[in-house]
Amino acid sequence: MNFKSISFFLGLFCFPISFLAFINILYSSYFDYFLSINTYFTALFVSITIGIGLIYLGKNSNKNINFIEQLFLVISVYLLAAFLISIPFYLSNYQTTFLNSFFESISGLTGTGFSIFKNIKYVDPTLILWRSSSQWIGGLYFLFFLFLIFSNKKFNYKMTSLTFVSEGNFSSKDNIKDNLLKIFIYYCILSFGLFILLSISEIRLFNSLNLSMTLVSSGGFLPTDSLKNIISSNFQKIIFIFSFFITMFNFYLIFNIFDKKSLIRDHKEDLYLLLLSLILIILIYFNNNSGLDLILSIASSLSNSGLTLIKSDNLNLYFLFITIIGGSLISNTSGIKLARFYILLKITSSEIIKLISPNSIVNKTIFSSERKINDENVKISFLIFISFFLSLFILSSFLVLDDIGFEKSFKLSILTLTNTVNSEMYSLENLNFANLLTSSKISLIIFMIIGKIELISIFLIFKKMLFKDL
């Protein structure tokens, strides 16, 4: 393992957190929140110091790291970034333990939204802004990872090759900086656009700013105790629905809109997601006539956000299933992903057709596009499916020991692996994470990361360490 090269790249990921700390210092100074400003100075100093130190350690090393080392880098980024983000939580006046602070940070970075704070309305506004920005930076980091690391052709378990891929090579040395900058600019434009829309809809500027960072990253943190305290009008609900769909769809859709390229041909997966959403809305609507509130909850579940305006005990299992499906392969969403369900269902139906009619020609295209489903895609889809439920069983086994009940343990495990907040939609809104056992918190931290990068990543790293053959 090339640790010096890994440390160089790891150091680079410290500086965006330094920038966020600097923004919070400016915010604290402008609005006279001087009681907490020292915590952000500490975060700024520590992140810059560690970043410079890591870069200095690896500056003379070979910068070419293989895929397994890249996976190790991703996990290291989550852990180190969470440590840096946890500093203001730990040094705040809320007597937060380091484990709880780290838990809050990981929850933000992975876009999960689990929180150790029960009454958000009493939390310092600068700390609310800090936790929201942790989601924003986590969403940006994951898009970088998705394009540059998880699109690896040799270990393509994310299967990004099955959906639209830009003409440029995102991992080539010649244009990697340009493409990273392009991703950053579009991500910022999308965030700012959501902020403007939320502000126009008469949501407070502070809430609009925090919500824009939550929505663009498919996160679950709110600047208040409930979404009902923010959203009331139909226009605001429509904006939220639109935001969830943008998060759910392929991020390349944003690239193509700006580049004026073909949308329908290259984004069949997004059309299927839209069709699935319409089917789910029609099916569930007859059981619960909630109008826009219902559509918002379905879009929120598919985008793995979990924010909702309804409490529906009789539909929470439906919403959990929708959450497991997830959104596009190339998006900030988690879950198994629609494309993998599609592959398994199509291959299963094809095998049944072969048994009935052996001479029939089976169509193996994905989403009626030019891309073919090969045996490797089927194996990976099945492996992801099995690893998800293996993770679900392991995590549930740990959580059930915490005396929160089997049903809550099972639901919470699903939400953890899909990086979805525990809202009223799943009847888990009263869960107090601060009071969980240490073993449960550590388990949730581990599986929040696994939910984002998937269990196969961990297996590949262990294979590298144990067998030294990669």
136 touches 213 (CB < 8 A)? yes
pLDDT of residue 460: 83
Domain assignment of residue 235, yes or no: no
Give the span between the Cα atoms of 93 and 111, in whole angstroms.
25
3-state secondary structure 323-348: HHHCCCCCCCCCCCCHHHHHHHHHHH
pLDDT of residue 41: 95
Residue type, 320: L
Domain assignment of residue 84, yes or no: yes
Average pLDDT, stretch 107-111? 95
Give the span between the Cα atoms of 302 and 275, in whole angstroms.
12
pLDDT band at 169 (very low <50, low <70, confident <90, very high): very low
Domain assignment of residue 74, yes or no: yes
198 touches 364 (CB < 8 A)? no
Q: How far is CA 8 from CA 170, 424, 461, in A?
A: 20, 43, 19
Give the span between the Cα atoms of 70 and 76, in whole angstroms.
10
Q: Which residues pair with 329 in a beta bridge?
A: none
pLDDT of residue 267: 80
Average pLDDT, stretch 66-72? 88
**What are the tokens at 266?**
């290259």
pLDDT of residue 170: 43
Nearest to 311 by CA among 291, 293, 334: 293
190 vs 429, more confident:
190
Domain assignment of residue 29, yes or no: yes
How many beta carbons lie within 10 A of that of residue 293, not counting itself? 17
Domain assignment of residue 325, yes or no: no
CA dihedral sign, ordered 307, 149, 381, 384: negative
Q: Give the contacts of 10 (CB within 8 A, at least 6 positions apart).
A: 54, 73, 76, 77, 80
Average pLDDT of every residue of the chain? 87
Structural domains in the chain (count): 1
Q: How far is CA 151 from CA 70, 177, 332, 384, 447, in A?
A: 12, 17, 14, 16, 22
Nearest to 450 by CA among 402, 398, 404, 406: 398
Give the span between the Cα atoms of 147 and 150, in whole angstroms.
6
Per DSSP, helices labelled H in 91-175 are: 98-109, 125-148
Domain assignment of residue 17, yes or no: yes
172 vs 6, more confident:
6
Domain assignment of residue 39, yes or no: yes
Give the span between the Cα atoms of 169 and 150, in whole angstroms.
13
Average pLDDT, stretch 76-85? 96
Domain assignment of residue 271, yes or no: no
Q: Give the contacts of 27 (CB within 8 A, at least 6 positions apart).
A: 33, 126, 129
pLDDT of residue 167: 46
Q: How big, in percent rounded to 5, are the helix, strand and coil portions of the chain?
A: 65, 0, 35
DSSP H or E segment with residue 272? helix 268-285
pLDDT of residue 288: 62
Q: Which residues pair with 365 in a beta bridge?
A: 372
323 touches 301 (CB < 8 A)? yes
Residue type, 460: L
Residue 372 phi, psi (nearest 5): -100, 150
DSSP-derived 3-state class of residue 160: helix
Q: Is the pLDDT of residue 468 over 70?
A: no
Average pLDDT, stretch 175-186? 81
Nearest to 245 by CA among 317, 185, 305: 305
3-state secondary structure 198-258: HHHCCCCHHHHHHHHHHHHCCCCCCCCCCHHHCCCCHHHHHHHHHHHHHHHCCCHHHHHHH
pLDDT of residue 207: 93
- Model pTM score: 0.91
| CA count, 13 A, side-chain hemisphere, 2 | 20
Owning domain of residue 52:
1-90
Q: How far is CA 13 from CA 55, 145, 468, in A?
A: 10, 12, 27
Q: Is the pLDDT of residue 347 over 90?
A: no
pLDDT band at 325 (very low <50, low <70, confident <90, very high): very high
Average pLDDT, stretch 402-422? 92
Choose the weakest-confidence range: 50-54, 90-94, 256-260, 339-343: 256-260
Q: Which residues pair with 372 in a beta bridge?
A: 365
